[in-house]
Amino acid sequence: MSSKLTAGDLQVITRVAVFRGLKPETVQHIIAPATATILRPHDLIMRQDDPATAFFIVVDGWVKISRGTQSGEETVIDMMTKGDSFAEAIAFSGGRYIATAEAVNVARVARIPADHLIRCIRASPDIALAMIASVSQRMHYLVQQVEQLKAQSGVQRVAEFLASLSLAERGHCALALPYDKILIAGRLGLTPESLSRAFAKLRGVGVTINASKVNVADIVALRRIAADDRNAVRGTLRPVR
């Protein structure tokens, strides 16, 4: 069920990248008709090929963005979390959604109607410029992801993913996987079996995983692996010095 935005929702929504550079009053005008919905795991937010009637901002939780193939398989395009927006480009350009968005866990997502956004852009073209800049940054990020999938080994991808979960600069750290391992594999372009093998190799640098809990003996070593895993020998990574 949809409801009006709360003060907490507004704190997240008004700071998203897509509104960067806009005046506070302009942002308030754009989000005036927005509503927020609490979603359960696997609830759909938008469906690939449906008419684009809105764009969305994740207020809390995780959202999976995926595309279905003609053979019925699913490709995970991205994972969105608090403060991320999606479908803004298609919302102001018209057309149909190019991907499906689904809640991964209990999530709260704000919905901003596309027709209202278009009216705002016609009244203030600066809104379109800000959104185009945001979409351009997103495209740059996706290009980097494609480059990563082509250039990095599975072990490097997993190491980089785990390292990205930590704010620690050095030493030991404890992490929590943000969503299940099947989704992590899909996000990194790996099969679940390849993900398990990568986890096993990372034990060589002190990375241990128990369910969703991860212990990293040396975050610097893990980041070095993400940059270059030439230390992989006979399926086991030697500690990096």
- Mean pLDDT, residues 43-72: 94
Residues 134 and 160 in one domain: no
What's the pLDDT tens digit per position in 138-167?
Answer: 777 778 777 777 778 999 999 999 999 998
Judged against a pLDDT cut of 60, whether residue 238 lies above it is answered with: no
**Could you tell me the pTM of the whole model?**
0.83
Phi first, then psi: what are they for 229, rounded to 5°? -105, 35
Task: Based on DSSP, count helices (H) and strands (E) in the chain, helices before strands.
Answer: 9, 14
Q: What is the dihedral of CA 93, 95, 100, 105, to 10 degrees?
A: 50
Out of 148, 166, 193, pick the residue that ends a domain.
Answer: 148
Please tell me the distance from the alpha carbon of residue 205 to that of residue 38, in angstroms, as a whole number.
40
Q: Do 182 and 199 reside in the same domain of the chain?
A: yes
Domain boundary residue, one of 95, 115, 148: 148
Distances (CA, A) of 137 to 80, 130, 146: 15, 11, 14
Q: pLDDT (tens digit, 9 = 90+) per residue, 163-197?
A: 999 988 889 999 999 999 999 999 998 999 999 99
Query: With 0-12 CB in 10 A as exposed, 13-18 as middle and 19+ as buried, what is 167?
Result: exposed
Encode pLDDT of 206-231 as tens digits.
999 999 999 999 999 999 998 875 44
pLDDT at 70: 79
The token pair that represents 1 in the structure block: 């069920």
Instruction: Measure CA 142 to chain center.
Output: 11
Kindly state whether residues 209 and 135 are assigned to the same domain.
no
Q: What is the pLDDT of residues 63-96, one digit of tens each?
A: 999 998 778 888 999 999 999 999 988 888 888 9
Domain total of the chain = 2
Q: What is the CATH number of the domain that holds 178?
A: 1.10.10.10
Q: How far apart are CA 124 and CA 128, in angstroms?
A: 8
Distance CA 142, CA 24 (A): 29
Structure tokens at 186: 């899909």
Domain finish residue from 89, 123, 148: 148
What does the longest C-alpha to C-alpha distance in the chain come to?
63
Are both 144 and 65 inside the same structural domain? yes
Q: What is the pLDDT of residues 105-140, one digit of tens each?
A: 999 999 999 999 999 988 888 888 887 887 788 777
- pLDDT value at position 229? 52
Tell me the mean pLDDT in the region 7-20.
92
Q: 78 is in which domain, residue-wise?
A: 2-148
Same domain membership, residue 174 and residue 99: no
Query: Does 198 lie in the same domain as 110?
Result: no
Q: Are residues 61 and 109 in the same domain?
A: yes
29 to 19, 129, 132: CA distances (angstroms): 12, 16, 18
Residues 40 and 130 in one domain: yes
Residues 87 and 117 in one domain: yes
pLDDT value at 233 more than 80: no
